[in-house]
Structure 1
């Protein structure tokens, strides 16, 4: 296990692939950890030095008092790159990771070679969605995380995929049950408060937007909005719910690799 020391604690990360290859950073969704990207590692690491990390409040990374902000999480990524002496990298983030990617594209585009944002939006939900969830998690702790896990299967996967791949669905949703309640609530606040709708035009790096056709959390309309507001952005859509990298698997990996290979 590898860790980078931040001012407030340790950020957990993992590296795969050739040491001399271009770096591709993968950023997890809310309530998962770096292993959500396991389906992509074999394909991605053939071409890239793949850098995965547990976002603050998740997995084995530091859990600090909340609320967090997407800027704070984006600065964690920059600190990770600095600590590993990586000047520029490709970045791919899903859901909350896609918000982090948007922040980086807007505020630190000089550190990016290209950007992929998946199953995300410039603004995800509103306080009426997030505040009750934050309150429940802070009140009920681990019991709330278990309840969220059981409800997440329908949000993260289409019904036919979950029924046909129960072990896969369980592996991913178990990550949610294992997430720190304090860390999860703090990250919910970061997602709640993020709104990049008026800043997207500042993204100048090559951008691919990926959406899931059946994603009720971040519908394709949110992906189209991002694409329409970033000059030259590409768009791809798969039959999937919220975790398109898991459900679309190889097709997702091939589309992202095709984009990255051009940049």
Structure 2
């Protein structure tokens, strides 16, 4: 358990695994704490070193007043990587974290590859509110999962739902921090600069994503110079709902 500083903002991160096998940085989606990587972390750690950081506004990182920008998150990530000593990394980003990964790859030579889950090159006109639940309200946290996971998954895995609600209550963004993170998504647009992201990029998207439409994922993969698209049946949190399929593709991609 470690912290890095970007100016006055303290950023929490955790490192596991052997750095000699390559480092994978995991960047999460708007509003969610690091719990969202539970389905990937255990599998990736061992074959790789993993670095998981709480974005500003979530978990054990600071939540300064917003609104935030993707550039703020990129600067935070650079601070974490400097503190950890990482030079070249693979980046796995979900939603907002995928946007941060894209901008990091555009501005920095650190990323060796990108894996982008349920993200988009443009944030305008996305209605993110259905994904959010106030951490102080367990009923709201559970209800908001209907926008993130398919009904079939929710009905089949009540134990997972119960555990996720507990994790979200402990780690997710407050209403103020959520609004600050959502503002970063809304303002992001890298659509005319994707040609500058020249690392291998795997785009994985749930075909039934109700909030981040799958067409935005297809567009992202199509316009990235080295992009590859994989569509899977499921909702926005595809790394949870289709964890085995996502992990298989991550292993194949990162191993290559």
Unaligned runs of 5+ in 1: none
Q: Which residue of 1 aligns with 2:152?
A: 160
Q: CA deviation at 1:232?
A: 2.5
Aligned to 2:105: 105
Task: Map Cα deviations across residues 82-138 of structure 1 (whole Å, 9 max, x no partner).
Answer: 111111100000011111111112222x111111111011113428x46xx5xxx9x
Deviates more, 1:223-232 or 1:1-10: 1-10
Residue of structure 1 in register with 2:53 after alignment: 53
**Secondary structure, counterpart of 2:12 in structure 1:** strand
Match of 1:199 among 190, 193, 204: 193
Matching of residues 1-263 of structure 1 within 5 Å: 1-108=1-108, 110-126=109-125, 129=127, 148-177=140-169, 178-262=172-256
Distance 1:243 1:229 in 2: 23
Distance across 1 between alignment mates of 2:153 and 2:26: 23
1:20 aligned counterpart, secondary structure = helix
Equivalent residues of 1:152, 1:173 under 8 A apart: no
Conserved? CA contact 2:81–2:87, under 8 Å: yes
Q: Secondary structure at the match of 2:205?
A: strand
Q: 1:176: Cα distance to partner?
A: 4.4
Counterparts of 2:42 and 2:168 in 1: how far apart (Å)?
Answer: 24
Q: TM-score, normalised by structure 1?
A: 0.89
RMSD of the TM alignment (CA)?
Answer: 2.1
Give the paired residue count.
Answer: 252
Distance 1:214 1:81 in 2: 34
Deviation of 1:169 (Å): 2.4
Q: What is the TM-score normalised by the length of structure 2?
A: 0.91
Instruction: State the secondary structure of the residue aligned to 1:67.
Output: coil
Aligned residues of 2:124 and 2:187 also touching (Cα < 8 A): no
Q: What does the per-residue CA deviation read over 1:227-254, in whole Å, with 9 as the maximum and x for residues that have no partner? A: 1111221111211100011111121111
Tell me how far apart the structure 2 counterparts of residues 85 and 170 of structure 1 sit (CA, whole Å).
37
Q: Post-superposition, which runs of at least 4 consecutive aligned residues in structure 1 deviate over 6 A? A: none
Paired with 1:152 and 1:180, the residues of 2 have a C-alpha distance of: 14
1:140-199 CA-to-partner distances (Å, cap 9, x unmatched) read x766x6575244211110001011112222333444444222221110111111111111
Q: Separation in 2 of the partners of 1:147 and 1:228?
A: 39
Q: 1:216 offset after TM fit, Å? A: 1.1
State the secondary structure of the residue aligned to 2:100.
helix
Question: Which stretches in structure 2 are left out of the alignment for 5+ residues?
Answer: none
